[in-house]
Amino acid sequence: MASLLRLVDANLNRLKEGIRVIEDICRFVYEFKEEASKLKNLRHSARTSCLLEALASRDIIGDISKNTTKTEKQRENIGSLLVANFKRAEESARVLEESLKLINTNEAEEFKKIRYALYDIEKSLFSKLPTR
């Protein structure tokens, strides 16, 4: 169970961090109030009843894949930051959706809703971005 909780902890962090990057770009770079507000609400709704147990299972020192990859070190522009963080958040929401099916099916369903909301915001946001 500790391994599963580590998985939940890592992906909850990734999800919230990815959403926060997108939210701040919407807020400070593009001043897209609607998207920033939706993202803030999503970030705050991303929670689980097993948070404390997951936190207790965190093992940063023992993480076998904590080194940054070459592609993570480079971003071309704001658009590439958005793409990378949308994918990070969407993938993490999917991992949470699947892994929480073993702990709490209602919470798993909430992360499915978060994932689909991210898909919708992603489409809306990219349709509003200035073209080059």
Asked, for residue 65, whether it belongs to a domain, the answer is: no
Contact 6, 59 (CB under 8 A): yes
Asked, for residue 68, whether it belongs to a domain, the answer is: no
Specify the amino acid at residue 17.
Answer: E
Residue 11: give the domain boundaries: 2-58+76-128
Asked, for residue 7, whether it belongs to a domain, the answer is: yes
Asked, for residue 67, whether it belongs to a domain, the answer is: no
Q: Report the predicted TM-score, pTM, of the whole model to 2 decimal places.
A: 0.88
Number of domains into which the chain is organized: 1
- Overall average pLDDT of the 81-102 stretch: 97
Asked, for residue 71, whether it belongs to a domain, the answer is: no
pLDDT digits (tens, 9 = 90+) for 20-30: 999 999 999 99
Asked, for residue 29, whether it belongs to a domain, the answer is: yes
pLDDT digits (tens, 9 = 90+) for 13-63: 999 999 999 999 999 999 999 999 999 999 999 998 887 777 768 776 677
Asked, for residue 63, whether it belongs to a domain, the answer is: no
Asked, for residue 64, whether it belongs to a domain, the answer is: no
